[in-house]
Every structure is written in structure tokens, then in C-alpha cells.
Amino acid sequence: MNNEGAGARNARNSGSDRIGRRATMSDVAARVGVSRQLVGLVFRNEAGVGVETRNRILAAARQLGYSPNTAAQSLRGSSTRSIGVIFNPYELTPLDILSRIYEHAATAGYRVLVSTTTETRTEQVAIDELVGYRCEALILIAPKAGFVELRRAIGPTPVVVVGRGMPGSDFDVVRSQGADGMDGMVRHLASLGHRSICYVHCLDVLDSDVRLGGYRRAMAGLGLEQRVIELSGDFTEEAGARAAELLMSGGDLPGAVMCNNDLAASGLSHRLLQFGLHCPRDISITGYDDNRIAGLSYLDLTTVCQDPNEMARAAVEAAVARAAGSAGLPREIFTGARLVIRSSTAAPSV
Amino acid sequence: MNNEGAGARNARNSGSDRIGRRATMSDVAARVGVSRQLVGLVFRNEAGVGVETRNRILAAARQLGYSPNTAAQSLRGSSTRSIGVIFNPYELTPLDILSRIYEHAATAGYRVLVSTTTETRTEQVAIDELVGYRCEALILIAPKAGFVELRRAIGPTPVVVVGRGMPGSDFDVVRSQGADGMDGMVRHLASLGHRSICYVHCLDVLDSDVRLGGYRRAMAGLGLEQRVIELSGDFTEEAGARAAELLMSGGDLPGAVMCNNDLAASGLSHRLLQFGLHCPRDISITGYDDNRIAGLSYLDLTTVCQDPNEMARAAVEAAVARAAGSAGLPREIFTGARLVIRSSTAAPSV
DNA sequence: AGTACATACTAGCACGAGCCAGTGAGCTGT
DNA sequence: ACAGCTCACTGGCTCGTGCTAGTATGTACT
């Protein structure tokens, strides 16, 4: 009964309208009356298929709701043509970078697989998932774990880290010229007449070390006194608010406060308003990242745009190169940082 | 040369230290000197493997850095045991839901595949990706497209929509009791002595229609005059700020403003401060969602917690049930909404 | 008429793992 | 001594697709 000769295979395939089962290439082929391989040629957009046949195949595929099975493609293909991305979705900058990664990867012919970290989902778990799918390279945006730990979890897959240094690793690194950005910011404030410029240094921020270095260098270069408020914790608006309280209780208010991220600037600005201090009338405030909130009309933050698009482009480029087998020493790529002047900075009131 | 009899297969397998190639079950088996099937039994945690053999297999797997190939599992297995989730990562509530979805899906033995929408990445593209991976069910958090469009893109896969109604569809729907939440909020404000309660109605928010309905019902029930400011656009803080401007130019200020989301409340609060109005001294402000920002010390928003965990649980449960083939009419599940009273509401100043 | 070659299509193996149906060794009971 | 059974393990087919190596058919050129 189950041995009907050559017809058996086709019989199985055409009996495919089993509930929930997706159409396969064989289903499409059977419908048109050609071989499965020909359908494959059409979907891979290869030459050597008659125009009329191609159209009939495409029509049948549409009718049957055929869509290629990615798992089968990954399994059979010599490469999976996919890049994995790991990030914390609660931070805005990584999100901006992610959306650009999608675009650049598509251009390069790569698929993007996303795996997020959360409070309860560790980097280890996120990595395992992507390794399971055999991504050809991973892009880690602001990872928390160290090199050894990450490398052990990831195995032989190439890695690109964005927004954080990885000294001594074999990872490629993409970070913005945070030092230059902060340097430019200090000069901007100085040119407005500010001499008392305080810096709010939130740890747990992309490239926070580099940014602080830029502030210090620029202040030293101008012969100005450095004043740094260091804060930790993930809730960066809260950090800004705490900075506001420290400033208010500190006696002498600075003319300008530079925050190393926009969220902190937002919290700072809000909290200072509650103390009756208006920005920029009473105090100038700056952010960093040029996130969505920096452009809000009531904040209108002077900030530094670290060009998520450029970071994404560099990261994808590095990932694709490694996926294609490029050897060589790990590279460190610095992307540009551009000062964005808005209305939260003005000449000091004194 | 390539016909060495029975040894050929093993030769291929053990020649596996080709650069970048991941170990497979066969590699592990060859290392231990057992069959591939036995390795499979170990990794599927099935009975019938000797204790010592099992340990040797696990040790070899660790040494070789073996990890199961998800694509192969999906392809071969009778089911892919994966649920796809589509959402816009720039909104906070979907993020809260997502992180819980990961947990509930894991409990149910399902993998989660994430595909985000962005300004440049349409729902269509996000759907195609997940369909390609043959997710057994999709969870769409606050999708923009309509039923017909979504169903066409998705094909026969079951769908659960979160945070939005889908009248006339065959999708399961999970939404919070937004009406009850708003009702409770109105009563809370009324009990503080407020009679002039304005409502900021941002469209493009989860269940915005239901929430507005709750406000209207409660106000009508108390015999209070309804005052609704309707705003559209994605940038919800901006919407709150615009509402503040409308209120200031309107002449008579309400004693309390209810926003249908926390971000708008934040923007409103900030902008009102710039006009010199302090919350809650001069005006009470409420949000909705109990997002991260609602808990910020300087906002400390009275809001409604719609329990992302509960929504995630319900969504995963529905998705898993459908994936397992449960038939029946589409269900609409309402999850609870709980009033969270903080310090942004107080008795009116007059 | 025969060679050369392009065009349109097909056969068959392979990817890595799941799953069903075995197989052989050792033990028990009669 | 032999059936009956469990335990530990293996053979072999399969999922849906990519890829290499083909086979027909026609058309052009010597």
C-alpha cells in the first residue's frame, strides 16, 4: 500500500494541504508540473529558467502561500548568511544602532537575528540562542561581560563589540570618538563664556571612559577647573536628578553641566526646574547621544550625535568581513561624533 | 580516492576541524566512539543511556564546543517549538511585555524569535522573517496594520494580538482592562476633591480607545464635565508638552490632567514646570502603564499598572494553545489593571 | 551530416538532527 | 535449554533546501 513506485513521492507532496503545514518547493513544483530544482532556481533568482515557466512558478507559489524555509536554507547552504545582534532594548542608543544594522545587513545580503538581554535574560542565554542558529558573526552592543567569558560562550564565531573597548581581545571594536565629542562640547561652552563647567559621569554608559577623558583633556587644555560628579546605576534619568540635588546642596552652582548621556540631562533639567532653575536662562545643560528625547521641543538639548548609522555601518562591515573569513588582527574603529547645538546652552547669566 | 568504503563517512566527520566549522553530533560521537544517535539521546535528555557513556558524551561535547544546530532541529522536528514576537522596541510597554514573554515561553518549552519594526522596517518584513523560520504562532504587540493585511502576510500561522482590538478577525486578543484602570483613576482624583479633570488622549497608544472609554464612563457616572485633548503622533512626550501649551493658552486650568500614557505625563509635567506650575502643588498629573519613568523620583507618577507580566502570560498561553492545534473561536482576554498611587496626585490647591 | 554550443530543465547527494524500528548482550524464570 | 524481557545502543529514513553534475532539445556553423 505504501509502495506505489515513482508516484509515491509526488503523492506525499500533493497531499500537503494538511492543516497548518506550509507549502514547500515540492508542492509548488507539483502544482506547476516541473521539478523542485527548477522552483529553487526561480527563488534563488538564477538564470536558465524560461520566462513563461518562471511566471507560472511564481504564480503557483503565491497561490499556495509558499515562502522559503529559512531553517532548511541555513542548514543546507554553505553559510547561513545571518548576523546575530545582542543588546539591551531599554537603552535608546543601541536601539538606534539596531535599526541601522537591519538596513546595512540587508544591503550586504545578510539576515539579522536579534536576541535581547533583560533583567532576567543573561548575555549567556542570548548568545546561546544565536549560536544555535549558527550566525556567522555576532554584534554585541555594549555588552557587560568580559572577554574571556564572552569568548567561551560564543566559541569560534567572530565578534564585533560596539560602544565599549575590549583590550586584549580578538574582537573587532566600534566606538565613537567620544573624546572629540566632549572636547568639542567644552569648547562650545567656553566660547559662550562659561568657565565653571561641571561633568556628570554616569558609568554604565557606552564609552563612558572615553567621554570623560575628552572632558578632562579639554578642560585641562583651556586651563579650567574640573568638577566631576560620578554616578552609577542603570536608571540614568535618576542619576541626572541626583546630580541636580548634589549641585543644589553644594553651594556654588556651575554655569553649565555636561551630562554624558541625554537621559541624565533630561532628569537633571526636570529636577532643576523643580528647584526653580530654568535652562538655559539660569544654567546650561548638555547631553550626549542625540537620542530621540534630545530633540523634544521642551528640552531641545545641545548634545553630541555619535551617528548610530555610522556605527552600524562599521559594525556590519566588520562582521561581514569576518564572516567571509577575513583574518588579521582585531581592528578598533572610531566613528565620528558631531556637536549638535540646540537651545539648552546659552551664555552664562552672570 | 573518494571511495574508501565504510570509513569514508567517518573520515569526513573527523576531518571536522575545518576553520570555523562547528562540531556536530557526529563529531562528538566519533570522539567518544559511539553512534550519533546516542549523542542525540543524551541531548534530548532521554532515558536508555548508560551513566558513564552519558558523562563521556557530555564531556566530549564540552571539549568540542558542541551546541545543537537550531536550524536542523527546526527542520527535522515535527514542530519548531518557537514563537515569534513582533513589536516596536521604541515603546516601553511592549518591551516590558517582551521580557516576560521570554520567561513564560521558556517555561512552556518554547523558543522566542524576535523581529522588530522600525521606521524603515515594516511589519511585513518583520512577519516574513518569522514566517521563514516557521514559528508556530506569532505574538504581535500593538500592530499597526489591519486584519486582512496581517492575515495575508502571515498565512495559516496562529496569531495573538496584544494591546489592540481586532474586530472581525480570527486572532486571539490580549488587552488590559484599560477602562477599569481609567475608571479607578477618575474615582481616585474625585476622592481627592477634583472636579475639573482633563484627559489627554494620545492615539497610537495601546488600547487608547478602551482607556478613553473608561474616562468617559467614570466622568459621566460622577456627573462631571468631560474635557478631552486629542493628539496624535508617535512622540508621546511631545504630545504631553503640546497638551501643556494648549492648557496654558486655554484660560481655565483643570485641577488634574490624566494622560493615557506615562511618557505624555512626563512631557506634560516638564513643560508645565517651565510655565512655573508645579505638580502636584498646582496641578495633579497622572499617567498610564507604570513604565520605568513613572517611578523616577522627581516624577513619581500616579499611574495604572497594566501588568505586563500578566499580559505576557496570557499571550504565551494563547499562542502555545493554538500552536498545539487548539481550535475554536478567537478569544479576547482582558488582564487586570491596578491603580498605583504615587505623589503626583494631591488635593486641588483651590 | 556532424560538431559545437546554448537553453531549459532534472537527478541525486548533502546539510544536522529527530525518530522509529531494530539488534545484541545479559538476566530471569521454568 | 529456551522463551521472554530489559538495557544500551545503532541503522536508516526523513525534514526542505542548495548545489554539482548531469540530460534532452534546438540552433548555428562548418
Regarding whether B273 and B186 lie in a shared domain, the answer is yes
Regarding whether A182 and A302 lie in a shared domain, the answer is yes
Whether B343 is covered by a domain: the verdict is: no
Question: What range defines the domain where residue A244 resides?
Answer: 178-307
Regarding whether B119 and B96 lie in a shared domain, the answer is yes
CB B178 within 8 A of CB B337: yes
Regarding whether B302 and B312 lie in a shared domain, the answer is no
pLDDT digits (tens, 9 = 90+) for B143-152: 999 999 999 9
Regarding whether A185 and A88 lie in a shared domain, the answer is no
Chain A interface includes B19 (CB < 8 A): yes
pLDDT at A206: 84
Please state the rounded mean pLDDT for residues A269-274: 98
Partners of A114 in beta bridges: A85, B114
Regarding whether B198 and B157 lie in a shared domain, the answer is no
Whether A260 is covered by a domain: the verdict is: yes
pLDDT at A20: 56
Regarding whether A293 and A203 lie in a shared domain, the answer is yes
| A213 CB neighbour count, 10 Å cutoff | 15
pLDDT at B13: 34
Alpha carbon B343 to chain centroid, angstroms: 28
pLDDT digits (tens, 9 = 90+) for A281-315: 999 999 999 999 999 999 999 999 989 999 999 99
pLDDT surpassing 60 at residue B8? no
Whether B264 is covered by a domain: the verdict is: yes
Please state the rounded mean pLDDT for residues A6-16: 33
Chain B interface includes A241 (CB < 8 A): yes
B125 touches strand D (CB under 7 A): no
Whether A258 is covered by a domain: the verdict is: yes
Whether A269 is covered by a domain: the verdict is: yes
Whether A140 is covered by a domain: the verdict is: yes
Regarding whether B50 and B192 lie in a shared domain, the answer is no
pLDDT at B44: 93
Regarding whether B167 and B245 lie in a shared domain, the answer is no
Total domains, chain B: 3
Q: List the CATH number of the domain containing B108.
A: 3.40.50.2300
CB A181 within 8 A of CB A217: no
pLDDT at A327: 87
pLDDT at A182: 94
> What is the bridge-based pairing of β-strands B284-286 and B111-116?
unpaired
Residues of B in contact with A296 (CB under 8 A): 235, 237-238, 241, 267
Interface test with B, best of A113, A123, A125, A298 (most B CBs within 10 A): A298
Q: List the CATH number of the domain containing A62.
A: 1.10.260.40
pLDDT digits (tens, 9 = 90+) for B155-200: 999 999 999 999 999 999 999 988 899 999 999 999 999 999 999 9
Whether A201 is covered by a domain: the verdict is: yes
3-state SS record for chain B: CCCCCCHHHHHHHHCCCCCCCCCCHHHHHHHHCCCHHHHHHHHCCCCCCCHHHHHHHHHHHHHHCCCCCHHHHHHHCCCCCEEEEEECCCCHHHHHHHHHHHHHHHHCCCEEEEEECCCCCCHHHHHHHHHHCCCCEEEEECCCCCHHHHHHHHCCCCEEEECCCCCCCCCEEEEECHHHHHHHHHHHHHHHCCCCEEEEEECCCCCHHHHHHHHHHHHHHHCCCCEEEEECCCCHHHHHHHHHHHHHHCCCCCCEEEECCHHHHHHHHHHHHHCCCCCCCCCEEECCECCHHHHCCCCCCEEEECCHHHHHHHHHHHHHHHHCCCCCCCCEEEECCEEECCCCCCCCCC
pLDDT surpassing 50 at residue B28? yes
Q: How far apart are CA B311 and CA B176, in angstroms?
A: 7
pLDDT band at A18; cut points 50, 70, 90: very low
Whether A74 is covered by a domain: the verdict is: no
B281 touches strand C (CB under 7 A): no
Q: Which nucleotide is nearest to B75 (CA to C1')?
A: D15
What percentage of chain B has pLDDT greater than the value 70?
A: 93
Regarding whether B152 and B301 lie in a shared domain, the answer is no
- Residue ranges of A 80-139 with Cβ closer than 8 A to chain B: 80, 89-90, 92, 95, 98-99, 102-103, 111, 113-116, 118-121, 128-129, 131-134
What percentage of chain B has pLDDT greater than the value 90?
A: 83
pLDDT digits (tens, 9 = 90+) for A165-203: 999 999 999 999 888 999 999 999 999 999 999 999 998
Please state the rounded mean pLDDT for residues B45-60: 93
Regarding whether A194 and A119 lie in a shared domain, the answer is no
A244-A250-A254 Cα angle (round to 5): 70
Are A297 and B241 a contacting pair at CB < 8 A? yes
Regarding whether B124 and B11 lie in a shared domain, the answer is no
pLDDT band at A349; cut points 50, 70, 90: confident
Q: Could you tell me the pTM of the whole model?
A: 0.90
pLDDT digits (tens, 9 = 90+) for A108-132: 999 999 999 999 999 999 999 999 9
pLDDT surpassing 80 at residue A152? yes
